[in-house]
Amino acid sequence: MQKLDLPVIRTAGGLVIDHINRILFIFKDGKWDLPKGIIEDDENPLSTAIKETSEETGLSATSLSCVCELIPTHHLSKYKKNSYLKVTEWFLLTCDNNKQFFSPQKEEGIEHCEWIPLWDLNKVLSQTSSRTRYLLEFWLKYCKNITK
């Protein structure tokens, strides 16, 4: 097997749920996604996940709490004709204030944010990346196993 020698970009993001188990999605570049961003040199992954979720959605960072770390995702990406490996560390976050209004980060291409109930996930799953579906499916299976 050939080893890929690519630069690595580290990012972190949040799968955010509210008190009635709706998941927070952002709509960016014609797709539904979860908030995430690049981990800066002086940051840890969890603080990046909370900061990026707050910046991309307008939710107050103080309303976000970490429940646990989830599985990471990996994918190849291109930026300015250069390929790199993007590794995203994910965290399950809760939002304790669902009455806040969203303020999507338009300069990042985020058109809007929406709480999606679990029963309506098909609305977004067909318009998400495979890595986002993988993360969501993993989390949903995990939830089913712990509630048995």
Q: For residue 2, what pLDDT is reported?
A: 61
The amino acid at residue 14 is G
Residues of the chain with pLDDT under 50: none
Query: Do the beta carbons of residue 124 and residue 117 sit within 8 Å?
Result: no
Q: For residue 76, what pLDDT is reported?
A: 85
Q: For residue 97, what pLDDT is reported?
A: 74
Q: For residue 99, what pLDDT is reported?
A: 65
pLDDT digits (tens, 9 = 90+) for 91-118: 999 998 766 678 889 999 999 999 999 9
Q: For residue 94, what pLDDT is reported?
A: 95
Q: For residue 52, what pLDDT is reported?
A: 97
Q: For residue 3, what pLDDT is reported?
A: 64
Q: For residue 4, what pLDDT is reported?
A: 66
- Tell which residue, 106, 132, 104, has the closest CA to residue 23: 132
Query: Do the beta carbons of residue 102 and residue 112 sit within 8 Å?
Result: yes
The amino acid at residue 39 is I
Q: For residue 145, what pLDDT is reported?
A: 63
Q: Quick one: fold of 8-146?
A: Nucleoside Triphosphate Pyrophosphohydrolase (3.90.79)
Q: For residue 146, what pLDDT is reported?
A: 58
How much is the pTM?
Answer: 0.89
